[in-house]
Amino acid sequence: MLGKSELADDKLLNELAGEISREVAGRCLINESLARHTSFRIGGPAGLYVYPASVDAASSLVQLCRHRGLEFFTIGYGTNLLVSDDGFPGCVIDLADGCSRVVTFENGLETGAGVWLNEVVRIAAESGLAGLEKLAGIPGGVGGGMSMNCGAFGSAISDHLVDVDVMDADGTVSRLSKETVGFNYRKAPGLAGKTVLKARFNLPAAAPEDVLRVVDETVSERFRRNVMNLPSAGSVFKNPPGHFAAKLIESVGGKGMSVGGVEVSELHANFIINRRGGTAVDALELIRRIRRMVLQQYGVALELELRRVGSTDDPEID
């Protein structure tokens, strides 16, 4: 793999960007700030940030990265990410351009991984297709949602899923059934190391006005309970079996605790808010402190729900 120091060399980055522009249909950015692509507004630059224009282009890009020893990962809308202040010394793949179609059927729909999940929820509701409405208001895309098995109010994105099209790390595309993926609470083990390209859902028919009403109610409830309009990465920790992470954090006095520019939300103790230009170093220190307090008082080791990108060598957290 090309290292951080090699990729700090603008000449090499320009050379790689030139090669990508020649061989991969799509847009390629150099030293793109990842703070611009994350809801936390934290993170240094990605060496290369590429929007492949199609599935074929995404496959060519992955092959090129492998050939050139360039580390890569697929980003969604960055709503569950904590990116290191050093950024990511490789290639970030964004499917917002290349996997952006939604097609509805009588009993379901097929959506590209790069589509904003709320757009899919709205299209389903307006088409009289039920089953996705409790996901309304979860920020992020379909691919990120699949990878996280996102969910809320007792519903998960995998509930009505039939199958997903995925690309392996060598660019090969295949179809995986929902059962093969083995979805679990905020986990999709069968998708590890793969890029989701498309997902198909079986959705029962319902009156559009009924589905839209539940969508509206769900969004209102979400805004009442969660911190939706300040920079954050959503829930920081998973709920440990038998507990709610937010309750544990609140009961050890975590609410309002701050480090540098970040602080634990007063509304929802499992959210860390980036109030004043916080950094990844600030966020990680606050995460460590909260974890220690909960571990000391309850003997529960909180596990991260958000995903870390970039230098992540931290045995206490990872």
Cα separation, 194 vs 119, in Å, equals 24
Cα separation, 263 vs 95, in Å, equals 32
Binding region for ligand FAD (CB under 6 A) out of 139-147, 203-211, 212-220, 257-265? 139-147
Are 229 and 252 in contact by the 8 Å Cβ rule? The answer is no
102 binds ligand FAD per the rule CB under 6 A: no
Buried b (16+ CB within 10 A) or exposed e, 125-157: bebbbbbbbbbbbbbbbbbbbbbbbbbbeebbb
310 binds ligand FAD per the rule CB under 6 A: no
User: Residue 50 or residue 150: which is nearer to ligand FAD going by CB?
Assistant: 150
Please state at what angle helix 10-23 crosses helix 55-68, rounded to 10 degrees: 140
Structure-block tokens of residue 261:
């520019």
307 binds ligand FAD per the rule CB under 6 A: yes
39 binds ligand FAD per the rule CB under 6 A: yes
Nearest distance, CB of residue 303 and ligand FAD, angstroms = 14
Residue 230: half-sphere exposure toward Cβ, Cα within 13 Å: 19
52 binds ligand FAD per the rule CB under 6 A: no
27 binds ligand FAD per the rule CB under 6 A: no
113 binds ligand FAD per the rule CB under 6 A: yes
User: Residue 160 or residue 293: which is nearer to ligand FAD going by CB?
Assistant: 160
Which chain residues interact with ligand FAD by CB under 6 A?
39, 73-81, 95, 113, 138-141, 143-145, 147-148, 150-152, 191, 195-196, 226, 228, 232-234, 307
- Residues tagged active-site: 186, 235, 305
